[in-house]
């Protein structure tokens, strides 16, 4: 469970159409209240959102498509479409995997939640993968319930412990479901999607690069393939064994502080934010590490992804959580310069540097952080 960047970058119009083809989508819906259908997806760094009017219970959609994409289809109405307890909504969204060169049909009967998709091999494979992940969701259910109970009781230590257990289950799921699929189906139209899910938000180039190389050339050269390759290149720059790229950012007193100025000590570069619940729950563990090793040539540099105009929130979180080490931020949220330089896609995230500035570990939390520090600072 992490705080994840949801920012979608605007870019040039869709590239690489020659590698794709035309998408044809038609649908029928027996709910008169639905007046519009919205189709949205990403292709590489491009964000697409199209609206189609429903006429006499049918709609049609056609456009060039550069690559297979996981789209969100949303039904829109002026009246309530779905109710859940006391909550209601005038819209209903569901995923559909679109393919270039395909003719896809969506049939919706009785309820907006009753949808059948045909004509897309990618969608069939996506549903099969999704069914496998649901088995792990069932395993996680008691942990999630315990997590919310601990959070409600403001027991940060217990909530963080359970959170690590949930993350461990997620890691097993990614390895078995998506990793297993990639080994057997590198040429699948959903292989790039599966690889992104397998990689998670902390890209490990040593694990992911060989799998990316096994994908079809069309997938590698697609807009999303090119974007993913660029993410891999950035991840390689901050791989274990490399010297951490330097950066300069203002501290809490608006004085510039460089990462390189901390050379000579082991440094934990800790990306976090006051608004990030998982970060705040992990902070007691980071405080414990600092208190145990600050006298042993160890320090921490906190890099905050707090929002513009929210400096007071940042300073208050530092005070409330007892984070008595150096802190910097440009208050640019996910556009934080250091976070973009390091390819940070989720927080909390961290890197442990040796006195020469070389990265010796990444994304340590819980007992792993304590154990690694004990190993290098014994």
CATH of residue 333: 3.40.30.10
- Residue 238: C-alpha distances to residues 53, 178, 228, 330 (Å): 47, 24, 16, 21
Q: Which domain holds residue 115?
A: 21-119
Centre a 10 Å sphere on the Cβ of residue 13 and count the other Cβ atoms it contains. Answer: 8
Confidence of residue 60 (pLDDT cuts 50, 70, 90): very high
Confidence of residue 15 (pLDDT cuts 50, 70, 90): very low
Q: Which two tokens stand for residue 262?
A: 């901390």
pLDDT at 8 over 50: no
Q: Residue 197: its pLDDT value, please?
A: 97
5 in a structural domain: no
Domain ends where: 68, 84, 119?
119
Higher pLDDT, 41 or 5: 41
Confidence of residue 378 (pLDDT cuts 50, 70, 90): confident
What angle in degrees, to the nearest 10, is found between the helix axes of 205-214 and 191-199? 180
What's the domain count of the chain? 3
Domain ends where: 59, 88, 119?
119
pLDDT at 78 over 80: yes
Q: Residue 330: its pLDDT value, please?
A: 98
- Residue 321: C-alpha distances to residues 251, 280, 302, 307 (Å): 17, 8, 12, 18
Based on the fold, state whether residues 252 and 201 are members of the same structural domain. Answer: no
Q: Residue 190: its pLDDT value, please?
A: 97
Q: Which two tokens stand for residue 110?
A: 């009785």
Confidence of residue 157 (pLDDT cuts 50, 70, 90): confident
Based on the fold, state whether residues 69 and 129 are members of the same structural domain. Answer: no
Q: Of the candidates 122, 118, 79, 75, which has an alpha carbon nearest to the alpha carbon of residue 100?
A: 122
Rounded Cα gap, residues 372 and 226, in angstroms = 35
12 in a structural domain: no
DSSP state of 175: I
Based on the fold, state whether residues 203 and 113 are members of the same structural domain. Answer: no
Question: How do beta strands 115-118 and 326-328 pair?
Answer: unpaired
Q: Residue 19: its pLDDT value, please?
A: 53
Q: Determine the average pLDDT of the residues in 333-357.
A: 97
- Do residues 263 and 355 lie in contact, with contact meaning Cβ atoms separated by under 8 Å? yes
Based on the fold, state whether residues 266 and 367 are members of the same structural domain. Answer: yes
Three-state DSSP at 344 gives: coil
Centre a 10 Å sphere on the Cβ of residue 215 and count the other Cβ atoms it contains. Answer: 21
Domain ends where: 96, 119, 142?
119
274 in a structural domain: yes
Q: Residue 269: its pLDDT value, please?
A: 99
Based on the fold, state whether residues 73 and 131 are members of the same structural domain. Answer: no
Confidence of residue 85 (pLDDT cuts 50, 70, 90): confident
Based on the fold, state whether residues 258 and 280 are members of the same structural domain. Answer: yes
Based on the fold, state whether residues 132 and 108 are members of the same structural domain. Answer: no
pLDDT at 372 over 60: yes
352 in a structural domain: yes
Higher pLDDT, 316 or 7: 316
Q: Which two tokens stand for residue 277?
A: 């619940």
pLDDT at 262 over 90: yes
Q: Which two tokens stand for residue 338?
A: 């250091």
Based on the fold, state whether residues 372 and 248 are members of the same structural domain. Answer: yes
158 in a structural domain: yes
Q: Residue 175: its pLDDT value, please?
A: 97
What angle in degrees, to the nearest 10, is found between the helix axes of 366-376 and 277-293? 20
Q: Residue 20: its pLDDT value, please?
A: 72
DSSP track, 120-132 = -HHHHHHHHHHHH
11 in a structural domain: no
Based on the fold, state whether residues 265 and 344 are members of the same structural domain. Answer: yes
Domain of 86, CATH number, reads: 2.60.40
CA dihedral 125, 131, 135, 138 (to 10 degrees): 140
Q: Residue 229: its pLDDT value, please?
A: 96
User: What percent of the chain lies above the pLDDT cut of 90?
Assistant: 88
Based on the fold, state whether residues 306 and 288 are members of the same structural domain. Answer: yes
Q: Of the candidates 64, 209, 75, 182, which has an alpha carbon nearest to the alpha carbon of residue 125?
A: 182
Q: Residue 6: its pLDDT value, please?
A: 46
DSSP state of 174: I
Based on the fold, state whether residues 234 and 307 are members of the same structural domain. Answer: no
66 in a structural domain: yes
10 in a structural domain: no
| pLDDT, tens digit (0-9, with 9 covering 90-100), for 96-139 | 999 999 999 999 999 999 999 999 999 999 999 999 999 999 99
Based on the fold, state whether residues 212 and 267 are members of the same structural domain. Answer: no
User: What percent of the chain lies above the pLDDT cut of 70?
Assistant: 95
């Amino acid at each position: 469970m992490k705080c994840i960047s949801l920012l979608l970058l605007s870019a040039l119009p869709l590239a690489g159409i020659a590698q794709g083809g035309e998408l044809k989508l038609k649908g029928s819906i027996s709910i008169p209240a639905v007046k519009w259908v919205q189709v949205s997806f990403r292709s590489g760094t491009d964000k697409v959102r199209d609206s189609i009017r429903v006429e006499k219970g049918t709609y049609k959609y056609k456009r060039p498509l550069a690559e297979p994409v996981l789209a969100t289809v949303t039904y829109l109405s002026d009246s309530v479409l779905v109710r859940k307890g006391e909550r209601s909504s005038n819209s209903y969204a569901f995923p559909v995997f679109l393919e270039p060169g395909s003719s896809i049909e969506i049939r919706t009967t009785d309820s907006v939640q009753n949808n059948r998709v045909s004509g897309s091999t990618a969608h069939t494979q996506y549903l099969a993968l999704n069914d496998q992940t649901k088995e792990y969701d069932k395993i996680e259910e008691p942990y999630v319930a315990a997590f919310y109970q601990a959070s409600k009781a403001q027991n940060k230590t217990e909530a963080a412990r359970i959170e690590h257990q949930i993350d461990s289950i997620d890691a097993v799921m990614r390895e078995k479901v998506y990793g297993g699929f990639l080994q057997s189906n590198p040429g699948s139209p959903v292989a790039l999607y599966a690889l992104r899910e397998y990689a998670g938000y902390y890209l490990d180039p040593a694990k992911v690069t060989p799998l990316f190389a096994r994908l079809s050339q069309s997938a590698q050269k697609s807009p999303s393939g090119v974007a993913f390759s660029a993410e891999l290149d950035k991840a390689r720059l901050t791989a274990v064994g490399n010297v951490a790229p330097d950066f300069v950012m203002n501290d809490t007193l608006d004085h510039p502080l460089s990462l390189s100025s901390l050379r000579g000590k082991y440094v934990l570069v800790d990306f976090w934010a006051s608004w990030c619940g998982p970060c705040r729950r992990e902070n007691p563990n980071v405080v414990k590490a600092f208190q145990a090793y600050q006298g042993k040539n160890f320090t921490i540099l906190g890099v905050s992804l707090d929002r513009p105009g929210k400096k007071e929130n940042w300073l208050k979180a530092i005070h409330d959580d007892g984070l008595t080490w150096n802190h910097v931020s440009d208050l640019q949220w996910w556009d934080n310069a250091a976070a973009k330089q390091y390819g940070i896609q989720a927080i909390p995230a961290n890197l442990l540097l040796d006195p020469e500035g070389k990265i010796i570990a990444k994304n340590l939390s819980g007992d792993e952080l304590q154990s690694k520090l004990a190993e290098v600072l014994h």
